[in-house]
Amino acid sequence: MTAPNPEVLFVCVHNAGRSQMAAALLDHHAAGRVTVRSAGSAPADTINPAVVTAMEELGLDLSKEFPKPLTDEAVRASDVVITMGCGDACPIYPGKRYLNWELDDPAGQGLEAVRSIRDDIDRRVEKLLTELVPKK
């Protein structure tokens, strides 16, 4: 019997940009080896259109995604919780690994700025993946 996949939760305020990009990128790179979720401490109504466009450029479709609220259950189910500007809104539970990624907010930014944020997140996600699922 093998151990279950590590579970990662990405959290930002609106779950309309950074956390959505991070979740999609990790899910893509992990190819089923990591369970990925995202949530927001104050979810928006829709995902930022520039974020959808920037992710489409990589072949990742966020058009059917939607902002989800942060719940205690999502945090409890996660092995790693990565916050991106949600401040103290994320509950802290013992035994979880917490990381805070300082990233610009894509809200109100043009596509060029969103691409830069996306690429920064992508580099961080790839590094995280090597820690979560070491190559054999």
Q: What percent of the chain has pLDDT over 90?
A: 81
pLDDT higher than 90, residue 122: yes
Instruction: Please tell me the distance from the alpha carbon of residue 85 to that of residue 21, in angstroms, as a whole number.
Output: 14
What pLDDT digit, counting tens, does each position of 60-111 carry?
A: 999 999 999 999 899 999 999 999 976 666 677 788 899 999 999 999 999 9
Q: Exposure string (b/e) for 77-97, b if CB count within 10 Å is 16 or more?
A: ebbbbbbbbbeeebeeeeebe
Tell me, what's the pLDDT at 58?
97
3-state secondary structure 38-78: EEECCCCCCCCHHHHHHHHCCCCCCCCCCCCECCHHHHHHC
